[in-house]
Amino acid sequence: ETGVTQTPRHLVMGMTNKKSLKCEQHLGHNAMYWYKQSAKKPLELMFVYSLEERVENNSVPSRFSPECPNSSHLFLHLHTLQPEDSALYLCASSQGAPGPYEQYFGPGTRLTVT
């Protein structure tokens, strides 16, 4: 595997379910990000991890819980989501953060909350 991978690619969950999104980067980067992309809205940065420490939490509801066990892996734990949370969730990595580093994105997880 190369680049940034995400699983699952598609997820449908009910509002009472608990699920997790997984991201893995094979680029040797030390910063990882979660973004939310909704239709007709800009990419929204959710969380930033640098050297496995969370350096940014952009006022995201607590029903989204990130976890970064090491510099190559990033999880987003989901529970009691709302229909408006349906979106494409993108993971990215970069050489460092914060800083003007090019970010490499994964293919995303298309999440539908029913």
Query: Could you check whether the bond before residue 8 is cis, i.e. omega within 30 degrees of 0?
Result: yes
3-state helix, strand, coil in the chain (%, to 5): 5, 55, 40
108 conformational bin, left if phi > 0, alpha if psi -120 to 50, beta if neither: left
* The one among 30, 45, 75, 80 contacting another protein by CB under 8 A: 45
* The one among 47, 64, 68, 106 contacting another protein by CB under 8 A: 106
* The one among 13, 71, 73, 105 contacting another protein by CB under 8 A: 105
* The one among 2, 59, 62, 70 contacting another protein by CB under 8 A: 59
| Opening angle at CA 31, ends 84 and 45, nearest 5 | 25
Q: Would you count residue 97 as binding another protein (CB under 8 A)? A: yes
Q: Would you count residue 66 as binding another protein (CB under 8 A)? A: no
Residues that bind another protein (CB under 8 A): 4, 40-45, 48, 56, 58-59, 90, 97-100, 102-108
